[in-house]
Structure 1
């Protein structure tokens, strides 16, 4: 039994040695290039040294062939746009570059809107003094700022007296201006505009505003109130006729122009008194 065991043990060793030889042969056949782990470590070490040496001599500022750089394809530096963004260059032919178009040279806002307080004051003084000669150049302007203000004031005074007559004031004013416009164009050789007629009749409404203010505190339904109303009507009609004949060169026809004006202002007086 002991001899058989030894023989079997020897046979096992021989088989193991044969298998190990076959495995080494397979390993040599698999790595035909002769590349082993030891060679890999040596190659890696040699690459690191070579790369470190190359980094010391590389000029990164130089343009490498086949490599894209941001400066490629751009124009020279002297041809680049050097202006500021969103700020276009000024044209030498414009008025802003010459300095003539400035905020100081622009007219005031009220003057652009056609509101001139000096002319309004001059026209108001002309109405308040019916015996003063009127300046036809001033009254020839179609200024409606004063007339609108006086119409609103008349309606406000009537409202304070307990009379809501804003619609009557505006309606009678429009119809009266249209009638006087037609009449003056028939009587005068000089054509007159509707705006000029409305401006003159509106400014001459100022004494009627004073009558409506007086009606707030005192009753005008009596002899004294009637006389006062007739005086205001004469005042308004005389001022309006004076301005019309001065503007339209209608000498000797003041009474003919004052009559229709008195009829118009008489209607406003009726609204104020009653």
Structure 2
């Protein structure tokens, strides 16, 4: 019993610095991001996924089941629309969840390997980066006409769909079915593009 009390005294009577006193953390304790398994460096590198896929020598892309990055991308997309005065919260989350769920069903029908829903959310979320860039850019391109914005939006939607379909088809060895996977993705990303335009 005395050993246990001595251990407790050692543990709780150490020096407390000002950071520990204000935050309630112990010395040597992991940060909250580490405890929640959120890696900001991985989110930063995976958000550049559309640029990696455009390189022709890139055949293998790291696919993880992290959904924190796609949620951050959706929040940035939502905030960019709010700044423009477009309040589409329900539509954004409805379309993103529905399209990723339908993609999950389609991919599990096409392959015998099977794919997790979190991987579908991850790939579709990180591939949405060009749409988010288009949304942020459309705030600056106020002076351009609707025709130019539409062409840019269709291009960004095609880029997002190409990125997601290439990553999925490479990961699941479905290269011959890239169009079958890419077409519904293009339609989903076009819905997001129309939210930016209208």
TM-score range, shorter chain: 0.7 to 0.9
For the Cα contact (< 8 Å) 2:49–2:127, is it kept in 1?
no
The corresponding residue for 1:244 is 168
The corresponding residue for 2:36 is 113
CA distance in 1, matches of 2:122, 2:130: 15
Confirm whether residue 228 of structure 1 aligns to residue 147 of structure 2. Answer: no
- Cα deviation per residue 1:148-184 (whole Å; 9 max; x = unaligned)? 0010001100011110112211111011111100001
CA distance in 1, matches of 2:157, 2:3: 70
Q: TM-score, normalised by structure 2?
A: 0.80
CA distance in 2, matches of 1:135, 1:153: 27
CA distance in 2, matches of 1:131, 1:88: 57
Confirm whether residue 205 of structure 1 aligns to residue 128 of structure 2. Answer: yes
The corresponding residue for 1:167 is 90
Instruction: Tell me how far 1:221 sits from its aligned partner.
Output: 5.4
The aligned runs of 1:27-38 (5 Å cut-off) are none
The corresponding residue for 1:135 is 60
For the Cα contact (< 8 Å) 1:204–1:237, is it kept in 2?
yes
Q: Higher relative CO (CA 8 A, sep ≥ 6), structure 1 or 2?
A: 2
Instruction: Tell me how far 1:234 sits from its aligned partner.
Output: 0.7
More off after superposition, 245-254 vs 228-237: 245-254
Closer/same/farther in 2, CA of residues 84 and 249 from structure 1, 3 Å limit? closer
Q: Which of residues 109, 119, 124 is equivalent to 1:186?
A: 109
Q: Which of residues 237, 260, 274 is equivalent to 2:184?
A: 260
For the Cα contact (< 8 Å) 1:151–1:202, is it kept in 2?
yes
Unaligned runs of 5+ in 1: 1-80, 90-102
Closer/same/farther in 2, CA of residues 252 and 151 from structure 1, 3 Å limit? same
The corresponding residue for 2:49 is 126
- Cα deviation per residue 1:174-220 (whole Å; 9 max; x = unaligned)? 11111100001011121001000001101111111111112223346
The corresponding residue for 1:87 is 6
Based on CA coordinates, which of the two structures has the bigger radius of gyration?
1
For the Cα contact (< 8 Å) 1:208–1:269, is it kept in 2?
yes
Q: How many residues in Structure 1 have an aligned counterpart in Structure 2?
A: 177
CA distance in 2, matches of 1:128, 1:259: 20
Give every structure 1 segment of 4 or more consecutive aligned residues whose post-TM-superposition deviation is greater than 6 Å.
Answer: none
CA distance in 2, matches of 1:227, 1:185: 33
The corresponding residue for 1:60 is none
Q: Which of residues 167, 172, 196 is equivalent to 2:119?
A: 196
Unaligned runs of 5+ in 2: 9-26
Instruction: Tell me how far 1:257 sits from its aligned partner.
Output: 1.1
Which secondary structure does the structure 1 equivalent of 2:175 belong to?
coil
CA distance in 1, matches of 2:120, 2:3: 57
